[in-house]
Amino acid sequence: MNIIEKHLKLFLLFYMLIGGFFFYLMGITIDTIFVPTIEQPEGFCEKWTERAFRWHRAQDCVEFSNQLEELKYKHNKRMEKRSARKVLFLFLLATGITYLLMVLRPTLFFEKGNYLRYTTGIIATAVLMGVVLGFMMPIIYQALLPPPPDWLPQELMEIRRARTELILNEIAARVQLASQEGKGP
């Protein structure tokens, strides 16, 4: 192994570790601020239904104990969709950053040569690195590190609490408005 190959492998390892940690931090920050879920008590649902889509099975609540729990449940479902979009965003961002690095400094990822021939290889490598940086490394860091509320700055946790309170107040206002109009309990 010559010195160039050694440095390429060290750079790739460093890029995966630091880049994965960056995307881990970005993911938990987005979750903390923009994806606030609301806890629901046991027994909030009176009737569950199961739905299947290809290989995926899921349970949905179709009958709730009250309108407040129904609105909380719908909010949490929207947050699940938002979380899925966050994962796609992180993957695309990791892929885009890797692609830009490969185009601007191909010697960081490839040996010397005609890089225009490797366009398909650059795209495939960028997608692979996007999967590693956007999906796999954050999962590894999540498994190795303590839960984010234990070490995140308290300001972020205060933002999350404030957003959760705001959402609960909005839901309570909707329930109160519906009960005044005679649509709710």
Distance CA 27, CA 6 (A): 31
68 lies in a domain?
A: no
What integer pLDDT is reported at residue 59 of this predicted model?
A: 85
**Position 32 in a domain:** yes
Three-class secondary structure of residue 113 per DSSP:
coil
Instruction: Say what the pLDDT of residue 90 is.
Output: 95
- Residue 36 DSSP SS3: coil
Helix (H) or strand (E) segment spanning residue 142: helix 137-144
Q: Which domain holds residue 8?
A: 3-41+79-180
Kindly state the tokens that stand for 175: 């329930």
60 found inside a domain: no
Is residue 48 in some structural domain?
no
pTM: 0.80
Contacts of 124 (CB under 8 A, 6+ apart): none
- Per-residue pLDDT tens, the chain, 185 aa: give them: 556 566 777 888 899 999 999 999 999 999 988 888 888 888 888 888 888 877 778 888 888 888 889 999 999 999 999 999 999 999 999 999 999 988 888 777 766 665 656 677 788 888 999 999 999 999 999 999 999 989 989 998 999 999 999 999 999 999 898 888 876 55
Residue 22 domain flag:
yes
Asked if the structure places residue 62 within a domain, the reply is no
Provide the domain count of the chain.
1
Which pLDDT belongs to residue 82?
92
**Per-residue pLDDT, 118:** 66
Tell me, yes or no, whether 117 lies in a domain.
yes
- Phi and psi (nearest 5°) for 182? 85, 15
Position 92 in a domain:
yes
Q: What pLDDT does 19 receive?
A: 94
Res 22: pLDDT: 96
Tell me what pLDDT residue 41 has. 86
